[in-house]
Structure 1
Amino acid sequence: MYFSGCWYRNSDRLGRRGTSTRRPRPTVRAGFTLVELLIVVLIIGILAMIAIPRYMESRAHAFRSAAISDLRNLWTSQEIYWSDDTGYSNSLEELDVRPSRGVDLTITAASNEGWAAQASHSFFPAMTCGIYYGSADPSDGEPAEVPGVVSCSR
């Protein structure tokens, strides 16, 4: 037999009984074993157990901050309104106050001597923030306990 310039005999390439003398190539392993996949799923589960509660805490903190910010903005608007009209308003439109997205802001009491308001967030309804000022009844601004200071319940 002639291969690229050399003459070979079949016996040069073949061993006994016509079988090849070459060693079989090792099989290439493709993919992952079941144990490897289970370990990866376990690690992802542990990371999720750590990350999800922290994510929920940060969301609740953001919702609380939005409600507090809106109550503080309301307090500023009420003081500006009082300096112009010597009384407090019971209307958000009259004060030109626009609550943040998801915040339910309500003026619960208003008179010439004081006012109270509450805020809650639609994504975190268990939390309520409140403020009262002046002669307003503290129960109208619940959970506020100190006049002019925003307080929140959990």
Structure 2
Amino acid sequence: MQVLQVQLEVGADPAEVGRARRWVRSRLAGSGIEADEPLAETLILIVSELVTNAVVHTGCPAVLRMLLPGLPAGASVGTVRVEVADASDRPPAPRHADGDETNGRGLELVDGLADRWGWRPEGTGKAIWCEIDRCGAGAAGAGAYPGRTRPEAFPGTYPGMAYEAV
């Protein structure tokens, strides 16, 4: 299977979150993930949350990466991986926001929407990642925050992989 890895450098400005969402939409268009399928909107929401967290909580630029399986339109299998790397070495701090609070729901949303998520140190900072399995049954929400596993480093090479950096 061919895999496409794409990445976008995101500035430390909260306005960059909208640019990241538009960029994701444009990359999904050629990946076999249709704009009107639920997976597309889920990915855009997850990217929005992770990029917002990186920009707001670090005040530094970040890098958004997506790993897309090269599938024909309508295919029902494959895993999409999203990562946001930032310059902060502080681990993510999931929390539960109370009723009227305007912040604190981002990682809770990621936990509920992704099949798996976690983080790992990267350089002097960290990368927060999540994966969504594209399958008929879908098992979103892999469980509570504690006990998440840290996978091996983000794959750098795959046979038949195309790469794009923006």
- TM-score normalised per structure 2: 0.31
Report which of the two structures shows the higher radius of gyration computed on alpha carbons: 1
- TM-score normalised per structure 1: 0.33
More helix by share: 1
Higher relative contact order structure (alpha carbons within 8 Å, sequence separation ≥ 6) = 2
More strand by share: 2
